[in-house]
Amino acid sequence: MSAETAKLPASLARIVERFARQSNPKRRYEQLIWYAKRLPEFPESDKVPENKVPGCVSQVYITADINEEKVFFQGDSDSQLVKGLVALLIEGLNGLTPAEILQVSPDFIQDTGLNVSLTPSRANGFYNIFQTLKKKTMFYQNLMSAQAHN
d(CA 55, CA 122): 10
Active site residues: 56
- Half-sphere exposure in the Cβ direction for 41 (13 Å, CA): 3
User: Rounded CA gap, 72 and 119, in Å?
Assistant: 28
Question: Nearest 10 degrees: CA dihedral of 10, 23, 82, 80?
Answer: -110
Phi, then psi, of 135 in degrees rounded to 5: -65, -45
